[in-house]
Structure 1
């Protein structure tokens, strides 16, 4: 099925509330790759080492991981709309403060606050989009992945354009865009009915007791280490100007978006989700290994090409997290993200250390190895990852099992959105 088909299930025919949330999500994801083109400039401007500057990712994702235990607790008590607005407000404040930093320590601290705001926003935004989007959960996931891909593509571009003047400007630019997102959410998204049962701080941890969700989270943990080795360490290896580095990661983000939204669903229809995920992880491992040992041109090509595999992986992992267990989607998503974001925090910190202990090649060898470990988890635990097979059948014509599960999730999630 073509996700852009003009029928009722098209991801392009959505309420204003969904578009407002998706638009703000684009900017939220821009914040992840925003610093990529300016990492060398930040290191130079603040007289810092690559390892110190990489802490911008570590602090951001460490707080994001821990905040996953809080997001459901907060949103089930104050409502989805207020949680989104709180997250956006925190990003506006801390992104703006990041632009005023006078030291790496200050910048790392402000990025941590930024990570808290982003966690509150992104986790709630996914539940809102799934609950409000026309066309069911499959269309909602594609819309969310579209926002992710577009944000990943535009983040480095914005970082390059503004960062070529000063490394501070991208942070001010993000704060401005998130303020616009705040206004859009305020205007178009009405408050949601709160779920009948409030989420506790331990619910995401309890959800990981499901073998399928735990398997998806562990596999995604290894994959995310590879992902963020590419994202956080490669800019220092390429050692390019902000414009050139921004162009490389813009192309990377475009491939990520295209393969997330267009290629991945078609591959899943033909081969099945688990085969696609396992194969994509193996190809990503090979790509990262070549990136580590190739010349400069080869490294550029492999960096861009990795976006294709990352795009496929992101879509399949999101479906796994949302559908493989019987937990409400926000709770399952929080538990899954709690695990995987720790790898996103670890990779930017460990990659420079591994280089110091060995050579420039070994961080990429480690990244390739973790991608293979992710594939091994998928292979060994394939019986626990059963729901994606039902979703594959549903794409081909629908099954009662898939319909029943979708209805059950919609009832448990309590995410009904009213758009103006």
Structure 2
């Protein structure tokens, strides 16, 4: 059954692949700057805490803009929302590459974050609506795109960054322009939602305990994740290409465990136990990084191994958010994205303050403690996740039955 499911995963309408490709490039933007952080710090005479604002401006603007994505999408339709987001990313990525100051790059990354918000919240909803293979298959496809993007980002960033720190920014602008053309030509006009979404809808959705529980878990997890992403490159003392390969290895594990590992763990243990295990392992890795920051080999091993956790966590939390939320999926995605990216955006900035005030060990230890708080938050929603697992199994069984009975009619 799993083999059939896996084969069906790639039998998708061309529009799904167009949006998935754009997702790959969009998520490349997260890890793309990682290999060039030390180079930016050195060449633009900026402190690591100033350079960390590249993450903060990008992610905090992404978070706040998430609140307005449903409002925009319900008025101009999902396709035009995707196109608007892609255009903004192309423009601001190119502008960041043309900048001569760290302040300019930070500002243009903020504009990039606005485009990213319009794109991310809408792309998930479009893939879920358009993909064949059921809801779970659509989420796995989305997370596969995310994983590939996260894996490719540091490698492309390292290779282009070795030529110039400007290279990764111009690289994203070109790739996103290709994704923009693919989306315009391959994605059919999407119908506007039956009713217009209020700009307050995502915030109001957080009144639901199920969505709030998953969002708080994500805040604490992302605090640890973006602390690692924003600060681990410095003590490694590697060049751009070497850093690119370290994070490429990490990204490959993200992709593999998002697509293969997470569904298997979920089937065997359920969503909640799988997430407890993944988050507990991540807290341990962050603690080891914090305690042994000066040990380059251990640091690299821990960073690469954390890809296992990131892959599992991304797939299972995205599925859970969509299943437990009693609101429309685009609204749930926007609400979850808002809370999640706020945590991710503030973490590197606060980590910088901690390094300046104390030393480089402190942010990682605090990150480990934050992930433990995430586990505590998640335990309050254990029953809700167990019920969601049961609903998803029922939906998959129904989808399999529909496919098997409808096969002759739909066969070409």
Structures share fold, TM-score greater than 0.5: yes
Alignment correspondent of 2:362: 362
Alpha-carbon distance between aligned partners in 1 of 2:237 and 2:376, rounded to the nearest angstrom: 33
Distance 1:236 1:194 in 2: 46
Does residue 1:319 correspond to 2:313, yes or no?
no
* Counterpart contact for 1:268–1:392, Cα < 8 Å: no
* 1:253 corresponds to: 251
* Equivalent-residue separation in structure 2 for 1:43 and 1:229 (angstroms): 17
**Residue in 2 aligned with 1:408?**
none
User: Conserved in 1, the CA contact under 8 Å of 2:57 and 2:345?
Assistant: yes
Partner of 1:16: 14
Q: 1:126-141 alignment to 2 at 5 Å?
A: 126-141=124-139
Q: Deviations over 1:209-260 (max 9, x none)?
A: 1111110000111001011011111111212100110000000000001011
* TM-score scaled by length of structure 1: 0.92
For the 8 Å contact 1:324–1:386, the answer to whether it is kept is no
Post-superposition offset of 1:358: 2.0
Matched residue of 1:192: which SS? coil
Alpha carbons 1:255, 1:311 under 8 Å: kept: yes
Match of 2:378 in 1: 378
RMSD: 1.7
1:391: how far off? 4.3
TM-score relative to the length of structure 2: 0.94
Return the alpha-carbon distance in structure 2 between the equivalents of residues 310 and 255 of structure 1.
Answer: 8
| 1:411 aligned residue | none
Q: How does 1:340-419 map to 2 (within 5 A)?
A: 340-391=340-391, 393-394=393-394, 398=397
Unmatched runs of 5 consecutive residues or more in structure 2: 402-412
Counterparts of 1:149 and 1:68, CA distance in 2: 21
- The answer (yes or no) to whether the contact 1:273–1:392 under 8 Å persists in 2 is no
Deviations 1:128-170 (A, max 9, x none): 0000000111010000000000000000001000000100011
Mapping for residues 72-221 of structure 1, pairs under 5 Å: 72-221=70-219
Cross-structure match for 2:306: 306
Name the structure where helix makes up a greater proportion of residues: 2
Aligned partners of 2:174 and 2:149: how far apart in 1? 15
Distance in 1 (CA, whole Å) between partners of 2:10 and 2:213 is 33
1:271 to 265, 269, 288: 269
Q: 1:71 aligns with which of 69, 73, 78?
A: 69
Equivalent residues of 1:320, 1:387 under 8 A apart:
no
Secondary structure of the residue aligned to 2:383 is coil
Counterpart CA distance in 2 for 1:156 and 1:251 is: 9
Q: Give the whole-Å Cα distance in 2 for the aligned partners of 1:99 and 1:362.
A: 32
- Give the CA deviation at 1:386: 4.6
Question: In the aligned structure 2, how far is the partner of 1:399 from the partner of 1:358?
Answer: 56
In structure 1, how many angstroms separate the alpha carbons of the residues matched to 2:45 and 2:21?
35
CA distance in 2, matches of 1:385, 1:6: 24
State the distance in 1 between where 2:2 and 2:346 align.
37
Q: Where do 5+ consecutive residues of structure 1 fail to align?
A: 404-420
Aligned equivalents of 1:4 and 1:262: distance in 2?
14
1:5, distance to aligned residue in structure 2 (A): 4.0
Note if 1:334 corresponds to 2:324.
no
Deviates more, 1:381-390 or 1:18-27: 381-390
Matches within 5 A, 1:275-294: 275-294=273-292
Task: Please give the alpha-carbon distance, in whole angstroms, between the structure 2 residues aligned to 1:93 and 1:387.
Answer: 44
Structure 1 residues 299 and 121 mapped into 2: Cα distance closer, same or farther (>3 Å)?
Answer: same
Once the 2 structures are TM-superposed, how far is the Cα of residue 2 of structure 1 from its aligned partner? 2.6
Conserved 8 A contact 2:270-2:386: no
Number of residue equivalences: 399
Alignment check: 8 A CA contact 2:220 2:343 kept: yes
Query: How far does residue 361 in structure 1 lie from its aligned partner after superposition?
Result: 1.3
